[in-house]
Structures are given as structure tokens and as C-alpha cells.
A and B are shown apart, each in its own frame.
Chain A
Amino acid sequence: MDSCNCIEPQWPPDDLLMKYQYISDFFIALAYFSIPLELIYFVKKSAVFPYRWVLVQFGAFIVLCGATHLINLWTFTMHTRTVAMVMTTAKVFTAVVSCATALMLVHIIPDLLSVKTRELFLKNKAAELDREMGLIRTQEETGRHVRMLTHEIRSTLDRHTILKTTLVELGRTLALEECALWMPTRTGLELQLSYTLRQQNPVGYTVPIHLPVINQVFSSSHAVKISPKCPVARIRPAGKYMPGEVVAVRVPLLHLSNFQINDWPELSTKQYALMVLMLPSDSARQWHVHELELVEVVADQVAVALSHAAILEESMRARDLLMEQNVALDLARREAETAIRARNDFLAVMNHEMRTPMHAIIALSSLLQETELTPEQRLMVETILKSSNLLSTLINDVLDLSRLEDGSLQLDLGTFNLFAVFREVLNLIKPIASVKKLHVSLNLAPDLPEYAIGDEKRLMQTILNVVGNAVKFSKEGSISITAFVAKSELLRDSRTPEFFPVPSDNHFYLRVQVKDSGVGISPQDIPKLFTKFAQTQSTATRNSGGSGLGLAICKRFVNLMEGHIWIESEGLGKGCTAIFMVKLGIPERSNEPKLPFMPKVPTNHGPTAFPGLKVLVMDENGVSRMVTKGLLVHLGCDVTMVSSSEECLRVVSHEHKVVFMDVCVPGMDGYEVAIRINEKFTKRHERPVIVALTGNTDKVTKENCMRVGMDGIILKPVSLDKMRSVLSDLLEHRVLFEAI
């Protein structure tokens, strides 16, 4: 054996050892070469592997290691220098790569480990999300169920349908075995089984309302799990099986009176119904939270739906009631109308029937009075006459009042002389007053209008009645009548706060005060004065007769005239003052300026209606000039004729009262002349009235005439009557505007 530069084996080559080393090295090399291949294969298969570079490095490391070991196989025996070189190179490379890989791994292994933790984290997260998804889904389903249930419940306004539907839908959604509704009875002390799901006709089970379990349910707004053994849950005949879990929830029953805006929904006087839901027995189902929530929501919805149904029922009932009342009222009205008609017919007949004999009695008695009579006979006839006069007055009063009562009396409005009315009353009352030695004075305010619009007859009747009363109830002294226009400050009398007269431009309030110094009236009798047939008890009134209707009728008349009447007295023996105010119209002025468009009014003036009226006529056309002149001369005017505008302006003077000018002649500007005339005469009353004579009255011509300040237009040809009326109107008003 030659010695070489290689390392000398330290012990003699052992063949077995050598063999084993050889084989091991071989296998190591094989493994080392196959691992990268596997890695590459599997990494190629997987889609994502972030550390390719590392893989390459690792692969290189392994390959080189393998190569090293492979080359080592040759070094067991004699090997050439080349092999040694290759071996060295391989070892060097392997060393480099290994170190690099070792260094790299320091970075990479923590990453890889963290990847693992991240993976775990993500898995947890995924599980959590799954759970949450599950929850949301269940919630959404619950929501859907609630919506559907609500829709079903609210789609009807009938109480029974609502409740039945609720139970059915709940049963279906939650797959219940039984669902029942207990309603409070009329007394409110018991709960009665009203509706069930499975049983067709719930027999009237009742349960007292004050059971602890029921109180527990009523006091909470949530669904409460109750024991299956409590009376409300024992609906079915005893089952052999283990009953499922039971839940009860309260359903508020809202009445109409509960709908106060601020009090929703907590009220102490609320009534509740009880809804009991049972899961199927023998199923291991439990009540889940979302199911309980569903039940609570449904209970609330049911409450709302029931209240709607209640409202509807209520309004239907109210409507029915109103219709009934309407019918009854209609009937009553018709009956009343028939009664009134019957009464009016009766009155009309009685009116005639009563007056006729009355008239006969009075007339014949007065005739009898004229004949020769013995004193006793005269006395008797006078009594008859007085009594029948009284009776006649009574009949009149009653008839008048009944007509006033039902409002069928209407005022006869007309223009009348107010002063004359007062004078008439004075004249009528003076004889009686002078017999009683009473002094009557009339005081009319200076601002009282002489003429007024109103019902003269009834106003006189009122004044006469009031003054007559004053005279009747005074035995001595004086009576003063004052009349004036009520001013607005005085209109609001503190004694008549409900009377608000509103004066306006064409109405005024007449205030009449009649003061007497007679027996007076005690304050407690004053309200009775105006009531029908009521009389004060003093003997004086009893003797003086009267039906007690006078003041009532006066009050009615005064009310019809939109006024007010009242009596003031300081007490018995102190006289009294009767005051009334009525609304009267102010008649319009009789000489208002007339409107521009005058109707054609043919007047019957004599032929020379305008003697000596100086008129200027300007017309180029000889024939029409002559005709116009003829017309005016016939009416007696003093006519000057001109045929051109210059001549017209030269001739016109303040003596001419009217200027007629033809404006429709083209070429001659009648308008210009009018303007010049307007300029010439600055003062309006000196200026003559300018009238245009034209063949057409279209809008343009009219506007032009108005613009230049003409006072009127006349359409040619002019008739005599037209000219006459035009002149008279012009001279009266100085404005015509169109005469066709």
C-alpha cells in the first residue's frame, strides 16, 4: 500500500465497519436527495407557500449535504486528488449553505410558529362568527315571524279573528302544542279561558285572577316561564306524558280612555289578558331567548290590534247611535213642524173667527153709544165697549206674539220720518196724560237723523207701548222721552254685557229713554217684566188691565231690530226708566253723482229747454254743421258755427258753455283743439263743456277723447231728444261720457 497525502486511517481498515458506513452513507445520500424532491413535489402541489427562497436554500443545503455524503463514498478507498478536490469543494459549499440556512432559520422559525398561532386564532374567530351568524339568522327569522304574525293579526279588525289568528300563527311558528288565551271576566275578578288553539270549544274554565303566578306574569312585561302544573296551564285533560315547558305572557287590554298622550302605556287601571304557550310534551325543547322575545312582541302587537278593533267597534256603535238619534230628531222636527203648521192654521182661523164677532161687538157698541141711552144703559154700554176693546187688544197681542215666537214675523223695512213717529206717539199719549195730569216732554237729539230705514209701524208700536206703560203706571208727576244716537263708547253698557252693538257706515243705533215718576218696580221683579203673561202683584197694575204681553212683544220687536231693551228702577215708589236701543238704517243721499254710463232717458222738456245757451259748433262738413245748428237752434241755443280748428280757438270764449266738435274728420285734429281749449281755460268752471261728435264710438276714439279731457262723446246722427237729454245732463253734471 502506497502512502499518500490523505489522512491515514487510524486503525486498520475494518471491512465490516467500512461496509456499514458505506451503506449508511449511501442511504443518507439517497434520503438527502429525495427530501428536496418530495418538498418540491408537494410545494408544487400546494398553491400557497410563502417561503420559496427558503425552500431553495434548504434544498440546496440538503442536496449539498447529500452530495457530500455521496462523495464520501469514494473516500473510503483510495481516491485521486480530483475526488479530494471535489469533496473539499462540496464540503465548503455545504458549510456555507448550512451556515446561511442556520442563520435564516433564526428568522423563519418564529414566523412559522406564529403562522400556526394565527391559524388557531382564525379558527377561533371563524367559530365565533359562525355562532354569531347563527344568532343573527335566528333573530332575522324571529323578526320575519313577528312581521308575518303582525301582518296576519293586523289584517283584520275583528276581535275574534285577531285573537284566533294570533294563536294559530304562534302555534305554527313556534310549533307549540297548545296555546291559550285567558281574558278577564266582566267583574274583573276572574280569568276566563276564551280561546285555545287545539280545542275547538273551550269550556268555560275560570281561574281567579289573584293567583300568585298570575300576578307574577302580570307584573312583568316579559314572558315568564311558569310551571306546567299551575291552573292556567292545565288546560287539557290530564295527559299521561311529561308536559313541555310552559310560558305565559301578559297582553294589555287597552281601552279608549287609555289613549292619553302622556300616559302611554303605564296606567294603573289596566287590565290584562293572559296568553299561555306550551311546548310539545316529550320533546326536549327548551324555550330559547329569541322565542320568548317573539312571544313578547306578539303580545304587544295583539294589544294594539285589539285596541284598534275596540276603537272600530266604538266608532261603529257611535255612528249607529248617531244615526238613530238623527232619525229620531228628524221625526221630532217633522212632528214639530206639523204642530206649528197646525197651530198656525188654528191661529189663522181663530184670528178671523175671533176678530169678526169682536169687530161686530165693538162697532155696534160704539154705534149704540151714539144713540139715546139712560145713564145705566150708557154705563153698561161703556163697560161692554171697554171690555171688548180689552179683549180685542188681547187677541191681537196673542196673535202677534205667537207669530213673533216662531220667527215668522219679518220686519217691513222702509224709509220713514223718525221725527214724525215720535210726534205721533206724543199726540196719541197726550190726551191720556193730560187726563191724569201728567206732563209729557219729548227731547230729540240734534244729531238724530230725520229719516231712517226700519219698520215704522213696529217701532211706533214699541215706543207707544213703553210710553203707554210709563203713563199707565204713573199717577202723578212727569214723563220724559229722550231719543238720541247711541255713540260707540256708550254702546257698551255695563248693565248689558251681552249686547255688543257695532255701528257701521249705513246704520245707527237709536237710543230711547222713557223716564217716569210713577210707582217704580222692585228689583226682583225686573227680570220678570219681559216674560209673557207675568205681571207684578201690585194692585195698581191689576186695576189698569193689560195682558202682560206688551213688554214681551216689545222685546221681541226690539230683538228683531237687533237691539236691546231693559228697564231700570231704583225701587218701589221711585219711578222707573225704560231704555231701548234699536238698529236703524241711514237712507242714502238722494242727489248722488250719477254713474258715467247714463241710460237713455227721454225727458219731456219743452222745445226751448235751454234758452240763450251759448254753444259753439265746430264741424268741417257743411251739411252736418247745418243739421247740428238746426238741432240746437230748435232747442233755443245761441249757436256759433266754425269750420276749422284755428277759427274755433279764435272764437271760443268763456261765454260759450258747450263746444261740440266733430272729431272723426281725418285731417282736422279735434283732439288738438280740445287740448288747446283746456290750456286756454285754466279754471274748470270757466271752461266750456267739450263734447265730441263722432261717427264711431270704438274704444280708441273713446280713450282719445278721455285723454284730451273731453267731457263726453255723442254718436252721430244725433236726434232731437238725444241732444236735449245730453244738454240737460251735461249742464247738470258737467260729465256725460257716452250717449249713443
Chain B
Amino acid sequence: MELVQIQRRLVDYTKSLFMEGFLDAQFLQLQQLQDDSNPDFVFEVVSLFFEDSEKLLNELTIALDQPNVDFKKIDSHVHQLKGSSSSIGAQRVKNACIAFRNYCDVQNIEGCLTCLQQVKQECYLVKNKFETLFRLEQQIMASGGSVPTTELGF
């Protein structure tokens, strides 16, 4: 049945996201928190993340463009971004943020710029991934099925 196929596709896709390191165990936690009283929890959180991250990335771009770069402010923004990404389990974004912070600590503008690009890239990638994931979930829900919980057997 198509439902089953979609479900299997969802499962495989989620597994691949984990394999490729886009997501980590924290995402599983989020999924666990989603229940009948809170059916769109994951979606809400992820959306909030992307809104926040967009704002933060803009701020970062502006800040790094300044003639006198305020590393403290950059550091706090990156910290926020790191916190958010780790809360939803966006592993690669988080790692990129960590690298960004290191460059920020040594006040290396070139490094920071490179990292900013990388973070933007990762955010963009993971956003796409999430969009695909949510689309699959919506398809399943529309077909009347239930979203299978991901069992990771690492």
C-alpha cells in the first residue's frame, strides 16, 4: 500500500539523516515529546528554530561586515545558534557553530567569515531536509496513517 511505502520511505529517510549526521539523538527526544496533547510539537520547534537562525545569521553577517568587528556580540549570537541547534538535534549546524566560536575566540575574521558561510550552508541543507521530512509526514497523516517512531539501533 502506498501508506506503507510512504511510511517506509519516511523511516529510511530519517535513518539516512541520522547516518549522514544531520540529526542526532536529541531529535529523537523531541519526537518523544510529541504526543496527542502536543501533536505538532516537532514542527513548531523546528520552525521556531529556522526563524531564529535566520535572524541570527543576518545579525552575524552585519556584524562581521563592520570595520570594527565586535567579537563579543558575534560570540553571543553564535552561542545562541549553537544552543538552538543542539536543542533540536541539528548536529552539523551545531558543529559548525562550535568551529565558528573557536575562530571567534582567537578573533580571526577570515576564519569567522568562512565559518559563517559554512553555518549558513548547513542551516540551508538541514532546512531542506526537514521540509522533506515534514512533507512525508503530512502525506502519511493525510492518508490516515500514523507517523512511525524512529527506532535507532546504533
A and B co-occur in one complex: yes
Write the residues of chain A forming the contact surface with B, with a CB cutoff of 8 angstroms: 607, 620-624, 626-627, 630-631, 633-634, 662, 664-667, 695, 716-720
Nearest Cβ on chain B to A229's Cβ, whole angstroms: 116
Q: Which chain A residue shows the least CB distance to B29? A: A719
Segment 65-116 of B: residues with Cβ below 8 Å from A: 72, 75-76, 79-80, 82-89
Decide if B75 touches A621 in the complex (CB within 8 Å).
no
CB-CB under 8 A from A719, the residues of chain B are: 25-26, 29
CB-CB under 8 A from A665, the residues of chain B are: 76, 79-80, 83
Among candidates B30, B38, B72, B84, residue contacting A633 with C-beta atoms closer than 8 Å: B38
Q: Which chain A residue shows the least CB distance to B46? A: A623
Q: Which chain A residue shows the least CB distance to B84? A: A623
Nearest Cβ on chain B to A697's Cβ, whole angstroms: 15
Given the contacts A620-B80, A621-B84, A716-B87, A626 and B48 also touching, CB distance less than 8 Å: yes
Among candidates B33, B72, B87, B89, residue contacting A720 with C-beta atoms closer than 8 Å: B33
Nearest Cβ on chain A to B25's Cβ, whole angstroms: 7
Among candidates A634, A664, A718, A720, residue contacting B38 with C-beta atoms closer than 8 Å: A634
B52 CB within 8 Å of chain A:
yes
Among candidates B29, B76, B84, residue contacting A624 with C-beta atoms closer than 8 Å: B84
Decide if B41 touches A630 in the complex (CB within 8 Å).
yes
7 of the cross-chain contacts (CB-CB < 8 Å) are: A620-B80, A621-B52, A623-B52, A627-B33, A630-B30, A630-B38, A695-B83
B151 CB within 8 Å of chain A:
no
CB-CB under 8 A from B72, the residues of chain A are: 666
Given the contacts A634-B33, A634-B35, A717-B87, A622 and B48 also touching, CB distance less than 8 Å: yes
Given the contacts A630-B33, A719-B29, A624 and B38 also touching, CB distance less than 8 Å: no
Docked Cα-Cα span, A664 to B84, in Å, equals: 13
Docked Cα-Cα span, A716 to B88, in Å, equals: 11
Segment 13-52 of B: residues with Cβ below 8 Å from A: 25-26, 29-30, 32-33, 35, 37-38, 41, 44-45, 48-49, 52
Docked Cα-Cα span, A623 to B49, in Å, equals: 6
Q: Which chain B residue shows the least CB distance to A628? A: B87
Docked Cα-Cα span, A633 to B35, in Å, equals: 11
Q: Which chain B residue shows the least CB distance to A695? A: B83
Interface size class of B (residues with CB under 8 A): 20 to 34
Among candidates B32, B41, B79, B87, residue contacting A623 with C-beta atoms closer than 8 Å: B87
Query: In the complex, which of the residues B72, B76, B83 has the most CB atoms of chain A within 10 Å of its own CB atom?
Result: B83
CB-CB under 8 A from B82, the residues of chain A are: 695
Docked Cα-Cα span, A607 to B33, in Å, equals: 10
Beyond A630-B30, A665-B76, 8 extra complex contacts between A and B, CB < 8 Å: A623-B48, A623-B83, A624-B86, A627-B88, A665-B79, A666-B79, A720-B29, A720-B32
CB-CB under 8 A from A718, the residues of chain B are: 29
Nearest Cβ on chain A to B16's Cβ, whole angstroms: 22
- How many A-B contacts are there with CB distance less than 8 Å? 77
Write the residues of chain B forming the contact surface with A, with a CB cutoff of 8 angstroms: 25-26, 29-30, 32-33, 35, 37-38, 41, 44-45, 48-49, 52, 72, 75-76, 79-80, 82-89
CB-CB under 8 A from B29, the residues of chain A are: 627, 631, 717-720
Docked Cα-Cα span, A188 to B88, in Å, equals: 110
CB-CB under 8 A from A621, the residues of chain B are: 52, 80, 83-84, 87
Docked Cα-Cα span, A467 to B89, in Å, equals: 72
Docked Cα-Cα span, A630 to B39, in Å, equals: 11
Docked Cα-Cα span, A634 to B38, in Å, equals: 9
CB-CB under 8 A from B87, the residues of chain A are: 621, 623-624, 626-627, 716-717
Query: In the complex, which of the residues A623, A624, A665, A666 has the most CB atoms of chain B within 10 Å of its own CB atom?
Result: A623
Decide if A623 touches B26 in the complex (CB within 8 Å).
no
CB-CB under 8 A from B25, the residues of chain A are: 719
Decide if A716 touches B83 in the complex (CB within 8 Å).
yes
CB-CB under 8 A from A720, the residues of chain B are: 29, 32-33
Decide if A695 touches B86 in the complex (CB within 8 Å).
yes
Decide if B26 touches A717 in the complex (CB within 8 Å).
yes
CB-CB under 8 A from A695, the residues of chain B are: 82-83, 86
Docked Cα-Cα span, A716 to B26, in Å, equals: 10
Docked Cα-Cα span, A719 to B86, in Å, equals: 12
Decide if A717 touches B86 in the complex (CB within 8 Å).
yes
Query: In the complex, which of the residues A627, A718, A719 has the most CB atoms of chain B within 10 Å of its own CB atom?
Result: A627
Decide if B32 touches A622 in the complex (CB within 8 Å).
no
CB-CB under 8 A from A624, the residues of chain B are: 83-84, 86-87
Docked Cα-Cα span, A718 to B29, in Å, equals: 8
CB-CB under 8 A from B37, the residues of chain A are: 633
Docked Cα-Cα span, A226 to B49, in Å, equals: 127
CB-CB under 8 A from B30, the residues of chain A are: 627, 630
Nearest Cβ on chain B to A253's Cβ, whole angstroms: 92
CB-CB under 8 A from B86, the residues of chain A are: 624, 695, 716-717
Q: Which chain B residue shows the least CB distance to A719? A: B29
Docked Cα-Cα span, A630 to B26, in Å, equals: 13
Nearest Cβ on chain B to A599's Cβ, whole angstroms: 20
Docked Cα-Cα span, A716 to B41, in Å, equals: 19
Nearest Cβ on chain A to B131's Cβ, whole angstroms: 17
Docked Cα-Cα span, A540 to B61, in Å, equals: 108
Q: Which chain A residue shows the least CB distance to B26? A: A717
Docked Cα-Cα span, A695 to B85, in Å, equals: 12
Among candidates A626, A664, A716, A717, residue contacting B45 with C-beta atoms closer than 8 Å: A626
Closest 3 A/B residue pairs (Cβ): A623-B84, A624-B87, A630-B33
Q: Which chain B residue shows the least CB distance to A607? A: B35
CB-CB under 8 A from A622, the residues of chain B are: 48, 52, 84
Among candidates B38, B75, B89, residue contacting A666 with C-beta atoms closer than 8 Å: B75
Query: In the complex, which of the residues B35, B52, B87, B89 has the most CB atoms of chain A within 10 Å of its own CB atom?
Result: B87
CB-CB under 8 A from B26, the residues of chain A are: 717, 719
Q: Which chain A residue shows the least CB distance to B82? A: A695
Docked Cα-Cα span, A667 to B88, in Å, equals: 23
Q: Which chain A residue shows the least CB distance to B89? A: A717
Q: Which chain B residue shows the least CB distance to A619? A: B83
